[in-house]
Structure 1
Amino acid sequence: AALTDPVFGKERACLIDPLHAATKPVAPGDVSAYDGVCPVAAVAAADEKDTENISTTNLTVADKWGNVVEYTLTIEQTGGSGMVVPGRGFLLNNELTDFSTVYVPTDPNRIEPGKRPRSSMSPTIILQEGKPFLALGSPGGSTIITTVLQTILNRVDLGMNVSEAIAAPRASQRNTATVTAEPGFITAYGSQLAPYGHTLVPAGDAFTSAAEIGAATAIEFRPDGSMVAAAEPVRRGGGSAMVVKPSP
């Protein structure tokens, strides 16, 4: 609940300069202690290798009774752990690699028994007056968070329909000095962002991300009770959105 507290949001918003790009990583917030006052600059955590990408899948499902499931699953790297559950035929993941590689006692992502590692997976269901309005998610490793956020901004703030919101060009800022961006995003916005100090690096370049950022799926729920399902028209060869009628 603290993550959605407006007071916590105000404290984090202090770190955003609308006129200048950040020149160094920003330390994470502390949901156990916040007061809405602009925080003093702190040392950010070291960058971690991003390996959760092509082995992640996202599903968005709804039925005629109004049940909604937004599900992101991953085996983390190609082949996961390389171990198959006997008689079941599916691979076990190797998500242990998502723990911090350097052990620091105060690091919440340190390796410990009984813990799940930090993950970028962000399956999201948005409610409007207590009812589902939009369900969406994406694979893409550390670009998942920005993919989901951009899709929401495109739909809610910029007025695109859900298909347009998914198809629009993307960028991904992952707490680094540069922004990874698809060619379409650089063409559309690069010259406008440069005066503010933003450096856009083409997606697919070394140490960035896959050439195509994310692979989102979404379902929008309309006031008349109908639904609109949408998926990627091009990224990763295109996704699929369909009505499935189970056999009797």
Structure 2
Amino acid sequence: MVVSAHPEASRVGLEIMRKGGNAFDATVATQFALAVVFPVAGNIGGGGFTVYRSADGETGTLDYRETAPATAFATMYQDSAANVIEGLSTNGHLAVGIPGTVDGMVKLHQKLGVLPWAEVVQPAIDLARNGVVLTQKEADGLNSTRQAFIEINKHTPYLTQKQKWQAGDTIFHKDLALTLERIRDKGREGFYAGKTAELLVLEMQQGNGMITKEDLANYSSVWRKPLEGSYKGYKVISMAPPSSGGIALLQLLTMVEPHNLSNYKWQSAEAIQLITEAERRVYADRATYLGDPDFVKIPVQALLDKTYLKERLSTFSMDKATPSSEMKAGKLPFTESDQTTHFSIIDPAGNAVSTTTTLNGAYGSKVLVNGAGFLLNNEMDDFSVKPGVPNMFGLVGGEANAIAPGKRMLSSMTPTILEKDGKLFMVVGTPGGSTIITSVFQAILNVVEHNMTMQQAVGAPRFHHQWLPDVIQHEPNAISPAVRSVLESKGYKLEQRKPYGRVDAIRVLPNGKLEAGADPRGDDAAAGF
């Protein structure tokens, strides 16, 4: 089974497995297909994380997060008075980190794939060349971004046209097809060297960006040890830093575990309070302690220490909200070492892959590499462009996540796999910027604590708190008027927002069958056999 943000990408991944490919081959094929059919977040000009569990229980993670260019520096988005220059880290050429996706897919395939490389890249080339029929959501996205595409690029991007895109229109990605062919024929060199690299560097030079040929040549994705924890007998396998997702998810699960959430009704005042107070404390820790582990010492063990987490939540009372102004990061007991897309895959042998990949904002920096047909990320905004100043998702960061050459920016991506009794149980993840962690957390709780099906769990309305701003953000229908009154009487501020996140997940049922959850908030689709 494949569950992804687009029916065509799910189909591609499934067909690869029908041909005898495994989950890792299907991951590569789905990733490249998403770069074609889902340009708002699917990419070759961004980066991401993959968490896997092989059929024999071996686990691992691959970090192909973008890095800062060699000439990047801590104050590059500030003026002479140390004020942050609005838009500089989110739009245009200076917002771009060195892309990691292609290097990541090459490494993943080399280690774990079984089909020939060319065979897993070809379906994306076919989609690019033959054209993709736009969904209503994709047409709307391209139309609403048209002006930004025109203003930011020095050429007229093919993603724009004079008349508005309509659902049912076919869009042809001719230059992208040629770029994908170079990747098919030359692997890593097809992107980080030769013609593609020349076009990318030329694009940077014309728009005063920083990325050089040397930056591209020096980029390398990293195999990392997964973070593993437990929740009520379930083993939880997630992504380590530079993702904050795994640590935050395990902190949240550990904090709420003693409180037996199943005693509370779903989205009751008590359940929302408990989850909100845990989230408030976890996001405060995130802002202070987390960054790139190759640059800063991250106290992983201390942050996950059960005594520490119990103490963190001991200051919470059901009687009233804890104001975020009173909530700083915890004092550790010891020290030691929005638009994104997610897909989940399980193959016939039982190999499982959870992959979250991103350009950061919708369509990334809006920079389209002239002649190469792909969009570049605006991932530099995920650094603390100035400690204490929020990024585009309202997340506040500290010195641990300051900009430095070659450094990976902190992420909220939370690709996760669960086991029960030593067997595969769930593959889950989502896009959504700062809301990723809480969406994955709630999807897991919906199944484990509230006995929802996988589809019900991903479709259920969600709420979110991230320390600052001090407000419970929630989707329509997530919180009933009666519960809202109770929460407001205790000092909580609530704010309705548009639906967010696209949780795509698979659960293994006791009889071995697979149950999909494809998020109804997008064009997400499951495909299986």
Aligned to 1:28: 329
Aligned in 2, Cα 1:241/1:83: closer, same or farther, shift over 3 Å? same
Structural RMSD (CA): 2.5
Shift of 1:86: 6.7
Aligned to 2:505: 218
Aligned to 1:75: 359
**Runs (5+) with no aligned partner, structure 1:** 35-52, 204-210
Aligned to 1:195: 489
Aligned to 2:475: 182
**Alignment check: 8 A CA contact 1:126 1:132 kept:** yes
Shift of 1:68: 0.8
Deviates more, 1:111-120 or 1:11-20: 11-20
Deviations 1:55-85 (A, max 9, x none): 3111111111111111111111233242539
Aligned in 2, Cα 1:65/1:168: closer, same or farther, shift over 3 Å? same
**1:1-248 pair list within 5 angstroms:** 2=301, 3-25=303-325, 26-29=327-330, 33=334, 53=338, 55-81=339-365, 82-84=367-369, 89-102=373-386, 107-175=399-467, 176-187=469-480, 189-203=483-497, 211-233=498-520, 235-236=521-522, 238-243=523-528
Larger of the two Rg values belongs to structure = 2
Aligned in 2, Cα 1:154/1:102: closer, same or farther, shift over 3 Å? same
**Alignment check: 8 A CA contact 1:186 1:200 kept:** no
CA distance in 2 between counterparts of 1:79 and 1:230 reads 25
**Alignment check: 8 A CA contact 1:134 1:218 kept:** yes
| Identity in percent | 37
Shift of 1:224: 2.0
**Alignment check: 8 A CA contact 1:171 1:181 kept:** yes
Shift of 1:5: 3.4
CA distance in 1 between counterparts of 2:305 and 2:487 reads 30
CA distance in 2 between counterparts of 1:199 and 1:149 reads 21
Matched positions, count: 214
Shift of 1:159: 1.7
The one-letter code matched in structure 2 to 1:158 is H
Using structure 1 for the length normalisation, give the TM-score: 0.76
The one-letter code matched in structure 1 to 2:380 is L
Aligned in 2, Cα 1:85/1:132: closer, same or farther, shift over 3 Å? farther
Shift of 1:27: 2.8
CA distance in 1 between counterparts of 2:485 and 2:428 reads 30
CA distance in 2 between counterparts of 1:30 and 1:243 reads 47
Aligned in 2, Cα 1:85/1:154: closer, same or farther, shift over 3 Å? farther
**Alignment check: 8 A CA contact 1:171 1:213 kept:** no
The one-letter code matched in structure 2 to 1:121 is M
CA distance in 1 between counterparts of 2:329 and 2:506 reads 31
CA distance in 1 between counterparts of 2:456 and 2:492 reads 25
CA distance in 2 between counterparts of 1:218 and 1:212 reads 18
Aligned in 2, Cα 1:29/1:169: closer, same or farther, shift over 3 Å? same
Shift of 1:31: 6.1
- Which has the larger share of helix? 2
